[in-house]
Amino acid sequence: MMPQQLKIFAALMALGLPTFGLNAAPIEKQVDAVIDDVISWRRDFHQYAELSNREFRTARIIAEHLRSLDMDVTTGVAKTGVVGVLKGGLPGPVLALRADMDGLPVVEKTGLPYASTQRSEYEGREVGVMHACGHDNHMAILMGAAEILAGMRKQLPGTIKFIFQPAEEGAPKGEEGGAKLMIDEGVLDNPSVDAIIGLHISQGSKVGTASYRALGFMASAQRFDIHIQGKQTHGARPWAGVDPIVVGAQIINGLQTIVSRQIDITQHPAVVTVGSFTAGVRNNIVPASAQLTGTIRTFDANVRQSIHQKIRAIAEQTAASMGAVATVEIDPGVPVTFNDAQLTKQMVPTLERVYGERAVFESPRVTGAEDFSFFQEQVPGFFFFIGARPAELSPAQAIPNHSPYFYVDEGALAPAVRAMTELAVDYLSSTTASR
């Protein structure tokens, strides 16, 4: 061996790595030492949830923690994002670990002692704010992994970039944000990232499990907005105007036929959902206008384009047939969450070691979307789910993300901290050893 290779070999041995592959016992003990802090961070973030591009308090807490670990820390990335760089004691690749930061405009109904009572403004309306998608857990998990990895920095062959990303749920209308803006601002550069890993928590599987899927995992997603212009009149004389509420109702009915009657769902899963319908201010006034907003989920680019065309045709032609005018806007959205095949093959054994082979399974495709996909367009990425459904609940009783009743079994946190830590060490050591 060359002198540098001998140094790397010695470092791997110090980590319990005969060549690569981790001896988990030391990391398990370090997880035990940090888990109380992880739970405290998670509950604090949960109680004080903040909306997309407004994660000011959250970002401050994360930055202070990373600085306490003697990392190079950058704040204000993509408005409120935080990035910490941990340089290992030996040369090697650069791995990014990512957690998302934002809550949702949801009024929490869990009844937890640390339930959020936060209020904020979202697109001109006062709303409650809740971590209804589990991002509070993601941040706390990555903070715990960061603490453990910082403690072994001298033996690490490479660099780890900790990316705490705002606005995963989407920036407010009219603003930029999220993974795409972080990339545009250079988050994958200086040092240049070779691969990225992220996770998501849900009640989709029970606590103590993990799931993944190679290649196309989660759907692409786009928001659509339909503005309907009618003609205002007295509610007692609807024939004197053009009712945009009735027009909107007919458009909604038409949109439901796209997936149910116009897409071969045996080959191409797809979803078109209308999420809001707003119109009017008084019971006896037919308003002048109405607005529909919704989401599109697909796994195939051609199907996605076809659905966009059908939405425009249905909205515009339905409105025209009733004397109204419909204007359709569809944003670029996020691409398919696409796990690199080789990286997935490389990382799954680590998950199996942490959770046990029988507790790690290949997931069906997920119609939820993740802007982690923007990172995966730039570098190989691996994204996986951790189960957080209490063991006593059946799958039918699982509470979905984005529900006001969503909660997690905190027993999911310790194995997730261990998983992120061991995935990082295994990636750096095995990639270094193979060079």
Q: What is d(CA 311, CA 98) in angstroms, rounded to the nearest whole number?
A: 34
Question: Is the CB of residue 28 less than 8 Å from the CB of residue 108?
Answer: no
Q: 């769902």: which residue's tokens?
A: 265
Q: Kindly give the residue spans of alpha helices, DSSP state H, lying in 295-412.
A: 301-321, 341-355, 372-378
Q: What is d(CA 288, CA 278) in angstroms, rounded to the nearest whole number?
A: 12
Q: What is d(CA 50, CA 169) in angstroms, rounded to the nearest whole number?
A: 12
Beta bridge partners of 402: none
Q: What is d(CA 172, CA 433) in angstroms, rounded to the nearest whole number?
A: 44
Q: What is d(CA 384, CA 212) in angstroms, rounded to the nearest whole number?
A: 5
Q: What is d(CA 424, CA 416) in angstroms, rounded to the nearest whole number?
A: 12
Query: Which residues, 6 or more positions from 414, have their beta carbon under 8 angstroms from its beta carbon?
Result: 31, 32, 35, 38
Segment (H or E) for 430: helix 413-434
Question: Is the CB of residue 292 less than 8 Å from the CB of residue 228?
Answer: yes
Report the sign of the C-alpha dihedral through residues 345, 195, 90, 163, in that order. negative
Question: Is the CB of residue 169 less than 8 Å from the CB of residue 104?
Answer: yes
Closest among 298, 354, 301, 334 to 165, alpha carbons compared: 334
Three-state secondary-structure class, residue 91? strand
Q: 């190079």: which residue's tokens?
A: 72
The residue type at 408: V
The residues that are catalytic are 102, 168
Pairing of strands 195-206, 360-362: unpaired
Q: What is d(CA 360, CA 320) in angstroms, rounded to the nearest whole number?
A: 52
**Burial of 288 per CB tally in 10 Å (0-12, 13-18, 19+):** middle
